[in-house]
Structure formats: structure tokens, C-alpha cells
Amino acid sequence: MATIRKRGVAQWEARIRKRGYPTTCKTFDTKVEAEAWAKDIETTMNKSLFVSAKEAEQYTLSECLERYIKEYIPRLKHAKRETDRARFLQKRTIAHRIMATIRARDIADFRREREAEGVSGNTIRLDFALLSKLFNYARSDWGMESLQNPVELAAKPRPAKGRDRRLEEGEEERLLAAASARFRPVILFALETAMRREEIASLHWKNVNIRGRYVLLPETKNSEARTVPLAEGALAVLRELPRSLDQGPVFGLLADQITASMKYACKKAKLVNLRFHDLRHEATSRFFELTDLDVMEIKAITGHKTLQMLARYTHLRTARLADRLAGMKRG
């Protein structure tokens, strides 16, 4: 049965106690609103459709983000990166809102705020992804079954246009000349294999098979193992490197050190708008231009999940295409 009682000067509380359900209460400005709400809740209880909103109405987004950081993020591969993103979100105005009150409109307002700050669409999409996971986790694990996921209803920012930067004539030589002796093999290996920065940084000698002409990547960005075949150029790079007795790292550079080395080399060589990841684009495009590998073979080498993603990394030069139209073979 529902109990309606006055609270203070101008508020009314509806409290419902029913066997098999938690005590449920809510405060309204008028008695009529309290009675209408109580009637609706009792009806859903009688139909066994009631889902308590108590948990969702008790905690703020910031409090849930804190719990998410402690319980969920440690399981992730890039835990620090996700923790930093969650800490940033805790500082936003929306983080002070009660979970149950956040709507798609609020998520859209947050998107507009970030866009006004000049943040890229991809960064905003990553913010959205974290918030979406949080709402789903709160529903499934924290007893907030009444929550709707407002992120799923909010319009997402458009994906950023993919980069199409390739090495122009003479740039590879300038980059190699400017690179340190330690970094130069990394550049050559990236251009031969199309491997990602993290994959190169984490490559260990125990996973290198020069005789079999391949390297094994036990864990990649896609959370799947991949075997990368090695062309003669890549094998030549490996043969020139000192092999550690403990079968440790091949290149001895962390991912961030590779990025820093690339920035320094580009600045020294006066190369504009060139990033280490662009070497993956370059290598992938060269597979199409300079070999007779088919698209599925190239996809297996690069580790792209879909042909659509592979296409984003492939930027064929018009002159090469013109040569093909004229009957010239690849390679």
C-alpha cells in the first residue's frame, strides 16, 4: 500500500511498501503528483514489471566513474589511458548529475562543449565509448536495471577523415639520414612489415624466426595473435641487430620513445606532417604497388580486421595506377 505524507511546507512524499519489493519512495511538489506516481508504481508491481530505480537515483556520474575505475578499468589492456579519460570526465559538469537524470540531450550538450573546445571527433567518440560502457556496466552489475543508456541515443560526432600522408620522393632518404643509429632500423622494419608502433616496440627475439622468415605477435591491437611474414629487407634489418641472450626486446625502444625519435628525426629532416603511423600507411600501399600479393594476403600481413579498414590505409599513387592501366604489372 502507498502512504502519502506531507514533508515540510510544500512537498509530498509517496512511500510504497509491498511484500517482495524494496521500500520505494519519492518526493513531489504536489499531492496529486505523488498519488499518480504511487498508482503507477503499484500497477507495475502488480504486473511484476517493477524495476527499482533506487540505485540509479542515489549516485552521481562522478561516483560511478570512481567505482568504474576501481572495478572495471584494471581489466583493460590500456588501463592507465582509460583511467586518465575517466578522471577527466569526473571534472566535467555532467559528472555532478545523478545517473538516473542523465538523458541523451545531456550527452549531446557534452558533445557540443567538447566540439567548442576544439577537440577532435575521434577523442569525443572515445569519451562516448567510456560513458556507454559505464552505463551498461551499472545496469548489469550494480543493480541499476532501470537505467537507460543515453549515449546510445545521442548523435555521435563524425569520424575524422583518415590520413593519407605518404613519403614523397627523397623523404625516406632524408628521414633515415636524420634518424639516430638506434632508430634507423625501426623505420626500415616498419616500412617492410607495416607493423604498428606498439607491435614493433613489444617484439621480442623469442618470437622471431629468421629461418622460417616470420615474427609472431602474441597480442595485437585487435587482441588477436598474428604471424607476420618477413621479406628480405626485414630479414636484413634483423640480421644486423645484436641478438640478446635473454631473448628480450628486438629494438630496445618503448612505444613513446619511438614516437619521440620520429618527431626528432622529422624536425631534423624538415619533414612536415609526418608521423610514425604514416609508415604503416606507406608500407601497406607499397604491398599493393610493388608486389603481386592479393588483397586477402595483404590483409593477413597487416592485421586489419576488415577490408574497409585496409582500404583506409591504402593510398595508391595515381602514376602507379596509370602504369597499371597501360598494362604494366605490379612489382
Positions annotated as catalytic residues are: 196, 221, 277, 280, 304, 313
Distances (CA, A) of 250 to 35, 131, 197, 207, 221: 72, 38, 13, 10, 19
Strand partners, 217: 226
Residues whose CB falls within 8 Å of the CB of residue 123, separated by 6 or more in sequence, listed in order? 114
Question: Is 227 within 8 Å of 216 (Cβ atoms)?
Answer: yes
Residue with cell 567510456: 130
Distance CA 200, CA 277 (A): 12
Residue with cell 548529475: 97
Buried/exposed 111-143: b ≥16 CB within 10 Å, e otherwise = beebeeeeeebeebeebbebbbbbbebbbeebe
How does DSSP assign 109-172, residue by residue?
HHHHHHHHTT--HHHHHHHHHHHHHHHHHHHHHSS-TT---GGGTSPPPPPPPPP---PPTTHH
Name the DSSP letter for residue 244: P
Distance CA 299, CA 306 (A): 8
Name the DSSP letter for residue 229: E
How does DSSP assign 55-80, residue by residue?
TTTT-BHHHHHHHHHHHTGGGSTTHH
Q: How is residue 175 written as a grid cell? A: 628521414
Q: How is residue 27 written as a grid cell? A: 518526493
